[in-house]
């Protein structure tokens, strides 16, 4: 019983983390049809921002990291993606791949490949002990934070004017522009939100692992990409649900697989997902972006 509960909490917290990443990617994809590889590098840069502000109060560190990542996200949009607006999704995909590779190797060039360690919110790695159950505080924090962010995002999209404009833009970008939605504003805000989500993920990631390296972003992004495809491309709810599914599946396989097969866990997760796409190629929730309009 304890074993099952422990795994359920593990699954929820890992799922939350993936959901946050998938949301950050899905937000941009919905509006621009851009699968943003560089999202992983945003998370990596967030971690580096923490590394270079060690010594400040932790809240200040977190704030600086978030502001830094948001700034980078906005610059990225302005310099690399704005000139490509309206290009086909394949070109955007390659551009973001090149950008991610560029940022990653620039960091490698400047700071070296060796992983670095940071002590950040170390107190969160303690446990709550309930009965025989040991629950890491960080997992609780991750789940709570994700729920809060999701509620916040929903309110933002439903209630605020700019949120509604973003939904309109995701529905039909051209039409939204015709009725007065400002393209540049909406896209800049989408990138800032996506950057903020990336920064939150990098905070959680650094608290959990305590380490950072130039290559840390890419594996997270890979998982989140698959999550957005599973959820249905272009659907935000789908992205969150997809992230959660991938997280739960990963933890479940970790628990179920015999020890000699555990190294193949990630391969098994991806294989199951490709299998799922055989049955339902459009994903769980069919996003508006799934098919090109005529």
Partner 1 sequence: MRHRIERGLLFVWPVLSLAIILVVIAALISLGPTLLQRVATEALIRLIVVIGLYVFIGNSGIISLGHVSFMAIGAYSSALMTIPPQMKKFVLDLPPFMTVLLLPAIPAAFIAAMVATLFAILIGIPLMRLSGIAASMGTFAFLAIVYVVISNWKAVTGGQSALIGLPVYTNIWVALIYAMFALILAFAYQHSRYGVRLRASRENEVAALATGINVRRERLIAFVVSAFIVSFGGVLHAHFIGVLSSSSFYLDVTFITLAMLVIGGMNSLAGAVIGTIVVSSLGELLRLMEVGVDLGTLHLAAPRGLREVGLSFLMLLILLFRPQGLTSGKEFFLPSRMTRRFLAGNTTSSTSCARSRSHRR
Which residues lie near partner 1 (CB under 8 A)?
33, 35, 80, 83-84, 87-91, 93-95, 97-99, 101-102, 105-106, 108-109, 218, 222, 225-226, 228-229, 233, 263-264, 266-267, 270-271, 273-275, 277-278, 281-283, 290-292, 294
Are the CB atoms for 225 and 25 separated by under 8 Å? Answer: yes
CB of 177 to partner 1, least distance (A): 22
CB of 175 to partner 1, least distance (A): 19
Which residues lie closer than 8 Å to 228 by C-beta, 6 or more apart? 22, 25, 26, 29, 35, 238, 239, 242
CB of 113 to partner 1, least distance (A): 8
CB of 213 to partner 1, least distance (A): 14
Which lies closer to partner 1 via its Cβ, residue 62 or residue 99? 99
Which lies closer to partner 1 via its Cβ, residue 200 or residue 240? 240
Any bridge partners for residue 211, and if so which?
117
CA gap 48, 67 in Å, rounded: 13
Are the CB atoms for 205 and 50 separated by under 8 Å? Answer: no
Which lies closer to partner 1 via its Cβ, residue 99 or residue 207? 99
CB of 198 to partner 1, least distance (A): 18
User: Where would I find the beta strands (DSSP E) of the chain?
Assistant: 116-117, 127-130, 133-136, 211-212
CA gap 271, 219 in Å, rounded: 16
CB of 254 to partner 1, least distance (A): 14
Which lies closer to partner 1 via its Cβ, residue 8 or residue 218? 218
- In angstroms, how far is the first alpha carbon of the chain from the final one? 53
Which lies closer to partner 1 via its Cβ, residue 149 or residue 227? 227
Which lies closer to partner 1 via its Cβ, residue 55 or residue 263? 263
Residue 226 CA neighbour count, 13 Å, CB half: 24
CB of 108 to partner 1, least distance (A): 5
Which lies closer to partner 1 via its Cβ, residue 83 or residue 115? 83
Are the CB atoms for 98 and 79 separated by under 8 Å? Answer: no
Number of residues written out for the chain: 294
Which residues lie closer than 8 Å to 142 by C-beta, 6 or more apart? 13, 16, 17, 204
**Tokens at 198, concatenated:** 């990336």
């Amino acid at each position: 019983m304890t074993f099952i509960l422990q795994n359920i909490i593990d699954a929820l917290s890992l799922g939350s983390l993936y959901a946050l990443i998938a949301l950050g990617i899905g937000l941009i994809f919905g509006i621009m049809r851009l699968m943003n590889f560089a999202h992983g590098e945003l998370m990596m840069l967030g971690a580096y921002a923490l590394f270079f502000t060690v010594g400040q109060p932790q809240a200040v560190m977190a704030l600086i990291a978030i502001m830094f990542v948001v700034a980078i996200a906005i610059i990225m949009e302005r310099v690399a993606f704005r000139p490509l607006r309206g290009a086909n999704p394949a070109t955007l995909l390659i551009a973001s791949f090149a950008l991610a590779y560029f940022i990653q190797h620039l960091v490698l060039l400047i700071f070296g490949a060796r992983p670095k360690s940071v002590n950040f919110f170390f107190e969160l790695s303690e446990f709550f002990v309930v009965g025989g159950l040991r629950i890491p505080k960080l997992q609780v924090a991750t789940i709570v934070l994700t729920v809060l962010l999701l509620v916040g995002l929903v309110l933002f999209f439903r209630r605020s004017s700019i949120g509604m404009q973003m939904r309109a833009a995701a529905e039909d970008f051209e039409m939204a522009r015709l009725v007065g939605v400002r393209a540049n504003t909406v896209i800049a805000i989408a990138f800032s939100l996506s950057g903020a989500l990336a920064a939150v993920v990098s905070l959680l990631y650094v608290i959990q692992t305590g380490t950072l390296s130039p290559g840390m972003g890419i594996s997270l992004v890979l998982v989140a990409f698959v999550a957005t495809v599973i959820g249905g491309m272009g659907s935000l709810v789908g992205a969150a649900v997809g992230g959660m599914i991938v997280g739960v599946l990963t933890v479940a396989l970790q628990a179920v697989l015999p020890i000699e097969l555990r190294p193949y866990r990630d391969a098994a997760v991806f294989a199951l997902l490709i299998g799922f796409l055989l049955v339902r190629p459009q994903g769980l929730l069919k996003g508006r972006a799934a098919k090109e309009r005529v």
